[in-house]
């Protein structure tokens, strides 16, 4: 990054070679020039000179979600607490909701993953890297047909199989990242036993048994999370990860659910405190 007395910025130099790099540069400049939301990274400027392709963004002090979730040892970071994880999830969901439901025409992000969610000094998330973004279906069309792009493991099954892209493809990718945030596991981890290498495959049977939900919580949380909140968060992830695209929620439904999650978290903590007080009073009565 570059630091000046006026502003700190991050500079990204794109691959000089080939059509794809130039195409992604043009898409990114176009998208970030037209789209503005508190949960999308700001494009400060760009340079296209000869074969040079440079993008200049606002600098995000806390790097990416991946740094704080999946690369802790390498980056010497402390694990994110439950509240911060939910804050990041809600903000990232709000960014996708804007792309799908406010942007006109709608935009399909197509590369939603932890490394593309950047965090400012207060851990507010912003989506970055719009090079693969695609204008969504318009005029009564149900989907956009395109060459499959994105990152393995995060792609919705119907998109990976047919190349048919809808906003529900992003919803699936959100479910994958949200599950990474809850569990602290990578979507694909070849270091784990064979049955546990694919996060969604590992989680699918556990979703069906509430008694196993606590087994899915990131051990680095050390049990510091509201049980009701964990159940609700996993329910949201499971809904987003449904095989049939039509049955997945919209991102506005997800945002509403995550806002409710924040409210119930506080209420649950209050209930816990009240229960403790009542238990204490009962004990005194026994004495």
| Residues known to be catalytic | 111
CB 107 within 8 A of CB 35: yes
CA distance 285 to 279: 10
Cis peptide before 188 (omega within 30 of 0): no
Q: Minimal CA–CA distance to 234: which of 198, 261, 252? A: 261
For the chain, where are the E strands, in sequence order? 2-3, 8-13, 43-49, 52-58, 107-108, 117-119, 125-127, 134-135, 144-145, 164-165
**Residue 105, token pair as written in the block:** 């025409």
**DSSP code per residue over 82-151:** HHHHHHHHHHHHHHHHIIIIISSS-EE-----GGGEEE-TT--EEE---TT-EE---TT---EE----S-
CA distance 198 to 218: 16
Exposed, middle or buried, 210 (CB in 10 Å: 0-12/13-18/19+)?
exposed
**Residue 10, token pair as written in the block:** 């991050």
CA distance 263 to 259: 7
3-state secondary structure of 62: coil
Neighbours of 123 (CB within 10 A): 17
């Amino acid at each position: 990054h570059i630091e000046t007395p006026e502003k700190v910025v991050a500079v990204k130099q794109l691959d000089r070679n080939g059509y794809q790099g130039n195409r992604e540069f043009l898409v990114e400049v176009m998208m970030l020039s037209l789209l503005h939301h508190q949960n999308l990274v700001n494009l400060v400027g760009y340079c296209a000179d000869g074969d040079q392709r440079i993008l200049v963004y606002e600098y995000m002090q806390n790097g990416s979600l991946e740094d704080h979730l999946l690369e802790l040892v390498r980056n010497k970071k402390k694990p994110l607490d439950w509240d911060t994880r939910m804050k990041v999830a809600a903000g990232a969901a709000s960014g996708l909701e804007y792309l799908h439901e406010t942007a006109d025409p709608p935009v399909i992000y197509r590369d939603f993953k932890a490394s593309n969610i950047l965090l400012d000094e207060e851990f507010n998330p912003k989506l970055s890297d719009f090079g693969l973004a695609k204008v969504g279906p318009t005029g009564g069309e149900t989907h956009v047909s395109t060459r499959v792009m994105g990152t393995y493991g995060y792609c919705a099954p119907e998109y990976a199989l047919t190349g048919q892209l809808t906003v529900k493809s992003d919803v699936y990718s959100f479910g994958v990242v949200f599950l990474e945030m809850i569990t602290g596991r990578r979507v694909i981890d070849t270091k784990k036993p064979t049955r546990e290498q694919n996060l969604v495959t590992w989680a699918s049977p556990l979703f069906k048994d509430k008694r196993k939900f606590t087994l899915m919580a990131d051990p680095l949380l050390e049990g510091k999370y509201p049980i009701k909140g964990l159940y609700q968060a996993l329910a949201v992830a499971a809904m987003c990860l449904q095989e049939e695209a039509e049955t997945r929620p919209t991102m506005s439904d997800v945002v509403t659910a995550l806002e409710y999650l924040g409210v119930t978290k506080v209420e649950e903590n209050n209930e816990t405190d009240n229960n403790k007080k009542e238990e204490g009073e009962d004990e005194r009565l026994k004495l």
